[in-house]
Chain A
């Protein structure tokens, strides 16, 4: 676990000398000095992040701070302008699209309509990377598909049309499609957006359960710091394209994190039953104060 300063906010310093290739090879995900940007705009600058196998990480931060971009870089859907991303010690840039999809699955925030497609057919599409374009032409479902459908609890709806499902049901079906990729790493980009509280909890608890059952490495972008504190082992807070804080929720979820990363004043308490940090956001901080914080962090 990276060093955490007393304040709970960590400077992204130079790489640890002990950070050898042998150590890195054990990480499920290793983001090694990655930068990314479009002409005239830097999205991510020199991100360093290592995720151990089986770890569950929540990425938090304001809109446009580069969380989703970081997930896409890890999934190999974008190429970094500097640095590299390693999955199990292998450079993503050297892997083909299909080889990458056999190692890492990414559940997108949006789920476009799929007219005429049944739940089973959609989940089956997750097998593309494993089977290839011609392999997909052959038989129907395999064991992995059936397991994915059952694990997410959607097997009963196999023959229903995806477009006829509610938002929460659809998100679970999409999750089953990602599980059908049968990867060790699962990335989730705001899996609870557009869902009501009940379905948010349902999706996140399914993720937590699957992670335990399947020993998955999970990285998820979450907007709700409370959910991040409850459902992840570790929170990585991004701000202005840099890692602003990184550590277990119990240590880094502080009023200062709320102020400096999310730009809101508020208080932090503890859930009386579960013991996880609970946030009580109060009001957004004025932009002038944000700028001051920005200068202090970087």
Chain B
């Protein structure tokens, strides 16, 4: 049909031409660099925040002086502990963003999709059965991974044919998480002898992590982290909506499956290293999206860095808090686990996020 010229739309008067603004503009690069500096700062804070040896003694050790005890504590305990905190934080931040993007749900996180509770159950069961302990971290990693994949697998089976519906998937995730947490409690009741060490899995702590934990954590986190960042393009497209992504050429089911596997693997690695650090995987992605925007090519690495800063900072904060409690109130052997700190601060942040989310939907 010939449309008369009078009713035709005017040609848009907008300048054509190639845009020079990519995602790696100075702004994004500067923000990433700043975060890297913050990661280094968090690392230093973890090293220096402890009570004994004091900050001065730590400095002596780093400068090549210091007595044998201080050297041992700093080089064999403090450094690996700080590294484990950073690595676990990066893994959890990545895992959370992968889950939220794959399920298109801002309230999804490893904690509420059965992944973290499954990994905890695995670790607790292995410890309770005497198969694993602080002396044998390898067994804990294996058990946590098995548990994490079991939790995710349960969710996969339960969600059944409706697994393409993100909202429903999250509801089932909460169900699976509750059941797994219940099973964990049962294991704790049956094997109370191990309670002291086992409770650390539930709250999440960086106490007593040594080089062995780090050597297990970093290759795992690196491999899965790199694989996840390679998923940045499909996941960014998936954020546009399932149907829209499929129409633009994405195999939605495959991309979503790959992202979920990556998220489970990263979470299991982090849980086996530091236990269930509350809210990190749920809230770090929101910070990352606020700082870097929805282009996951830059936001995924950003989430890893923010996660590292958050958990490193929480660890340093927990050490300072423990120090204050011991020095101020004279409490003997009082240690605040980092997980307690992330849970308390996280709960407040979650409230903010949930309110903003609800307001955004109006």
Closest B residue, CB atoms, query A143? B18
Interface residues of B in 65-84 (CB under 8 A from A): none
Give 20 new A-B contacts, CB below 8 A, not counting A136-B232, A141-B18, A147-B16: A77-B243, A77-B246, A97-B246, A98-B250, A101-B248, A101-B249, A112-B241, A116-B289, A116-B293, A117-B293, A125-B240, A129-B249, A137-B297, A140-B22, A146-B19, A156-B14, A177-B244, A206-B9, A209-B8, A276-B1
Chain B CB within 10 A, most for which of A111, A136, A181: A136
Q: Can you report 26 A-B residue pairs in the complex whose CB atoms are below 8 A from each other?
A: A75-B247, A77-B247, A101-B248, A106-B247, A107-B247, A108-B243, A112-B241, A112-B244, A113-B360, A115-B294, A116-B290, A117-B240, A117-B293, A117-B294, A128-B250, A134-B230, A137-B232, A137-B233, A142-B18, A145-B19, A146-B18, A163-B360, A177-B240, A205-B8, A232-B1, A274-B7
Give Cα distance in the complex from A159 to B306, angstroms.
25
**Cβ proximity bits A139-162 to B, threshold 8 Å, 1 near / 0 not:** 111110111011111111011000
**Cβ proximity bits A151-190 to B, threshold 8 Å, 1 near / 0 not:** 1111110110001000000000010011001000000000
Find out whether the CB atom of B294 lies under 8 angstroms from the CB atom of A133.
Answer: no
Interface residues of B (CB under 8 A from A): 1, 3-4, 6-9, 11-23, 104, 106, 230-234, 236-237, 239-241, 243-251, 289-290, 293-295, 297, 360
Q: Chain B contacts of A12 at CB under 8 A?
A: none
Find out whether the CB atom of A155 lies under 8 angstroms from the CB atom of B9.
Answer: no
Query: Does residue A293 face the partner (Cβ distance < 8 Å to B)?
Result: no
Find out whether the CB atom of B16 lies under 8 angstroms from the CB atom of A155.
Answer: yes
Give Cα distance in the complex from A209 to B282, angstroms.
46
Give Cα distance in the complex from A168 to B234, angstroms.
27
Give Cα distance in the complex from A202 to B7, angstroms.
10
Closest A residue, CB atoms, query B247? A106
Find out whether the CB atom of A126 lies under 8 angstroms from the CB atom of B248.
Answer: yes
User: Which among A128, A140, A147, A206 is the interface contact of B248 at CB below 8 angstroms?
Assistant: A128
Interface residues of A (CB under 8 A from B): 56, 75, 77, 97-98, 100-102, 105-108, 110-118, 120-122, 125-126, 128-129, 133-137, 139-143, 145-147, 149-156, 158-159, 163, 174, 177-178, 181, 202, 205-206, 208-209, 230-233, 248-249, 273-274, 276
Find out whether the CB atom of B16 lies under 8 angstroms from the CB atom of A146.
Answer: yes
Closest B residue, CB atoms, query A106? B247
Chain B CB within 10 A, most for which of A105, A139, A209: A209
CB distance from A39 to the nearest CB of B (A): 12
Instruction: Knowing A102-B249, A112-B241, A112-B244, say if A209 contacts B16 (CB, 8 Å).
Output: no
Give Cα distance in the complex from A274 to B246, angstroms.
38
Instruction: Knowing A114-B240, A117-B239, A205-B8, say if A155 contacts B15 (CB, 8 Å).
Output: yes
Find out whether the CB atom of B3 lies under 8 angstroms from the CB atom of A181.
Answer: no
Q: For chain B, what secondary structure do more than half of its interface residues adopt (helix, strand, loop), or is it mixed?
A: loop
Sorted nearest first, the 9 A-B pairs with minimum C-beta distance are A153-B12, A101-B249, A129-B249, A140-B22, A136-B233, A205-B9, A117-B294, A116-B294, A112-B241
Closest B residue, CB atoms, query A107? B247
Find out whether the CB atom of A146 lies under 8 angstroms from the CB atom of B17.
Answer: yes
Chain A CB within 10 A, most for which of B20, B248, B290: B248
Find out whether the CB atom of A125 lies under 8 angstroms from the CB atom of B4.
Answer: no
Instruction: Knowing A115-B106, A117-B239, A140-B22, say if A153 contacts B249 (CB, 8 Å).
Output: no
Closest B residue, CB atoms, query A135? B233
Q: Chain A contacts of B18 at CB under 8 A?
A: 141-143, 146
Instruction: Knowing A108-B243, A114-B239, A129-B248, say if A158 contacts B19 (CB, 8 Å).
Output: yes
Find out whether the CB atom of B247 lies under 8 angstroms from the CB atom of A231.
Answer: no
Q: Chain B contacts of A153 at CB under 8 A?
A: 12-14
Give Cα distance in the complex from A136 to B298, angstroms.
12
Closest A residue, CB atoms, query B233? A136
Find out whether the CB atom of B9 lies under 8 angstroms from the CB atom of A111.
Answer: no
User: Which among B9, B230, B231 is the interface contact of A202 at CB below 8 angstroms?
Assistant: B9
Give Cα distance in the complex from A97 to B294, angstroms.
24
Give Cα distance in the complex from A146 to B16, angstroms.
7
Find out whether the CB atom of A120 lies under 8 angstroms from the CB atom of B19.
Answer: yes
Give Cα distance in the complex from A120 to B21, angstroms.
10
Find out whether the CB atom of B11 lies under 8 angstroms from the CB atom of A108.
Answer: no
Closest B residue, CB atoms, query A145? B19
